[in-house]
Amino acid sequence: MTNTVRFTKMHGAGNDYIYVDTFRYPIANPEEKAIEWSKFHTGIGSDGLILIGYSNKADFNMRIFNADGSEAMM
């Protein structure tokens, strides 16, 4: 069974990223999803995946995964 995940795709400065609100749509394997969804011909097509989620220090946190599945440093 396929679960629906609503996302927003944004671009700027020559990069495209997929944004997902993990408050509503938890992502179990973000590394795998970044690779799968970032493919331009078979996925959504992007430079990576950005997850917006819970933080105990601020309103939310943000995790960035590159198209190869590696997590970017901020």
Identify the burial level of 41 via C-beta atoms within 10 angstroms of its C-beta, where 0-12 means exposed, 13-18 middle and 19 or more buried. exposed
Residue 55 CB contacts under 8 Å (≥ 6 apart), including other chains = 61
Q: What is the pLDDT along the chain (74 residues), one digit of tens a residue?
A: 568 999 999 999 999 999 999 999 999 999 999 999 999 999 999 999 999 999 999 999 999 999 999 999 87
DSSP-derived secondary structure for 21-39: ETTTS--S-HHHHHHHHH-
What pLDDT does residue 40 have?
A: 93
Q: List alpha helices for 1-74, DSSP H.
A: 30-38
What pLDDT does residue 73 have?
A: 86
What pLDDT does residue 3 have?
A: 82
